[in-house]
Amino acid sequence: MRWLDRIGAGAALLVPVFLLHGRGIADALLTAIAAGFLVRSVIARDWTWLSRTWVRVAGAWWLWVLLCTALGGSQMGQALGLARFLLVAAALEHWLLADATVRLWLTRLLRWSAFYIALQCAVQLATGRNLFGWPRGADGELTGPYKNPRAGPPLSRLLFPALLPIARAPAAGLALFAAGVALMVLIGQRMPLLLTFLGLFTTALFLPRLRAPVLFTCVAAGLFLAALPAISPQASHRIETKFTEQMRDFPRSDYGLIAARALAIVRAHPITGAGFDGFRRLCDDPAYFRGWDGGDGGGAEICVQHPHSYYLQALVEGGIPGLILFAALALSWLLAASRGLWLAPDPLRVGLFAALLIHLWPVASSTDWVSMPLAGWFFLLLGLALAEARAYIPGQHVSIEA
């Protein structure tokens, strides 16, 4: 099986490259990793990975979504495809990243990916265009290496695993954090910026030597935000003015109306939900046109493909049991990734845990749960976090040669 191990490791190391540019290829690589893991499990007759708590919770959630999808008569093929992401996490933890060398190279690739996105943003900030010649977004957002403004979400996840291992001294931490947060501000995407502060809090919680740099960074960020109208009026409008307006009248904002529509669907299907992709299918049905204070809740004009929250999505697709199972899955991932972290707070593991917490934080707007490339980044980071936690636990580290 050595050939399968080598092909699988090579595929895993190629995933970050194609998540940056070529998400279709990245999706195919993830699917191949999941299939290869099942093949290897059959050949080796090794199904011990099924005993992991998070795997069992994931299996229960996935089976419940399948049942809800079957009852709702919706996208069964796509619901079946959910399993590939769960299998990728298991494959990385138990197979491909059991080798410390592969983990090291994946860590480097993730760091280079973060620096690449940051470099493209910096070039666009300085010249008005990125290295491909694309200008800033319509509202002045820095788009990084992309044509559209989608640099913020992946960078917010990659930032801490990239920076914490090299922030060995307080001075280095202060410089890196200040630069990273300043860039997140100038990117102009609100939720990635807010989640970056959650990552800073997590860093301060686990790494006492970096608490002073985190505090100074937060103070500097506050001063920077105060001066932002003069530095970058467009970023200031998106981050400060527009966000304040949305929060002041959240029930009537687009996000508030979408949440109301999701809850209207749930009230009609509280136990089995609407099945996979249920929000997109039912959003424009007048039966669910209901706002927070009555009315039609924005009608069909507010309809989008997903409810902009992983937890609302789980609630719509699987009802109340689906939400409970999904929340339990998120918690089981965080617990597994944090095993031993308080006693031995390795900077890389802290950074990976911060990335997972940022992605799974419930009070946040989000993409569709399996939307690429962000889903690819998350499951790659999750697999690495689980593998690092497994390597830490005495007697649990197995070689890829086994």
pLDDT in tens, 37-85: 999 999 999 999 999 999 999 999 999 999 999 997 677 888 899 999 9
Is pTM beyond 0.85? Reply is yes
> Tokens for 321?
């049991």
pLDDT band at 87 (very low <50, low <70, confident <90, very high): very high
Per-residue pLDDT, averaged over 372-378, amounts to 95
Q: How far apart are CA 285 and CA 401, in angstroms?
A: 55
How much is the mean pLDDT over the chain?
90
Q: Note whether 96 and 102 are within 8 A (CB).
A: yes
Position 401 pLDDT exceeds 50: no
Is residue 151 assigned to a domain?
yes
Per-residue pLDDT, averaged over 283-307, amounts to 84
Q: Where are the alpha helices (DSSP H) in 188-270?
A: 190-206, 211-231, 233-236, 243-248, 254-268
Give the pLDDT score at 399.
Answer: 36
Q: How far apart are CA 165 and CA 302, in angstroms?
A: 43
Is residue 328 assigned to a domain?
no
pLDDT digits (tens, 9 = 90+) for 317-358: 999 999 999 999 999 999 999 999 998 899 999 999 999 999
Is residue 108 assigned to a domain?
yes
> Tokens for 313?
């999505």
Give the pLDDT score at 395.
Answer: 46
Position 396 pLDDT exceeds 60: no
Give the pLDDT score at 3.
Answer: 83
pLDDT band at 158 (very low <50, low <70, confident <90, very high): very high
Which amino acid makes up residue 104?
A: L
Give the pLDDT score at 73.
Answer: 67
Is residue 306 assigned to a domain?
no
Position 141 pLDDT exceeds 60: yes
Q: How far apart are CA 84 and CA 105, in angstroms?
A: 23
Give the pLDDT score at 131.
Answer: 94
Is residue 206 assigned to a domain?
yes
Q: Note whether 272 and 317 are within 8 A (CB).
A: no
Q: What is the DSSP letter of 344?
A: S
CB-based contacts of 356, cutoff 8 Å, min separation 6: 333, 334, 337, 378, 381, 382, 385
Q: Helix, strand or coil for residue 129?
A: strand
Query: Structural domain of residue 176, as residue ranges?
Result: 100-240+338-369
| Window from 97-101, 126-130, 284-288, 392-396 with minimum mean pLDDT | 392-396
Is residue 115 assigned to a domain?
yes
Q: How far apart are CA 248 and CA 277, in angstroms?
A: 30
Cα–Cα separations (whole angstroms), residue 392 to 82, 229, 336, 388: 29, 46, 11, 6
Per-residue pLDDT, averaged over 162-179, amounts to 89
Residue 292 has a CB neighbour count (10 Å cut-off) of 14
Position 29 pLDDT exceeds 90: yes
Q: How far apart are CA 215 and CA 201, in angstroms?
A: 9
pLDDT digits (tens, 9 = 90+) for 205-263: 999 999 999 999 999 888 888 888 887 787 777 777 777 777 777 777 888 889 999 99
**What percent of the chain lies above the pLDDT cut of 70?**
96
> Tokens for 387?
């593998």
Give the pLDDT score at 393.
Answer: 65
Give the pLDDT score at 335.
Answer: 96
pLDDT band at 383 (very low <50, low <70, confident <90, very high): very high
Is residue 318 assigned to a domain?
no
Containing 158, the helix (H) or strand (E) segment is helix 152-163
3-state secondary structure labels for all residues of 128-177: CECCCCCECCCCCCCCCCCCCCCCHHHHHHHHHHHHHHHCCCHHHHHHHH
The count of domains in the chain is 1
Position 402 pLDDT exceeds 60: no
**What percent of the chain lies above the pLDDT cut of 90?**
65
pLDDT band at 375 (very low <50, low <70, confident <90, very high): very high
Q: Note whether 34 and 91 are within 8 A (CB).
A: yes
Per-residue pLDDT, averaged over 119-140, amounts to 91
Is residue 116 assigned to a domain?
yes
Position 297 pLDDT exceeds 90: no
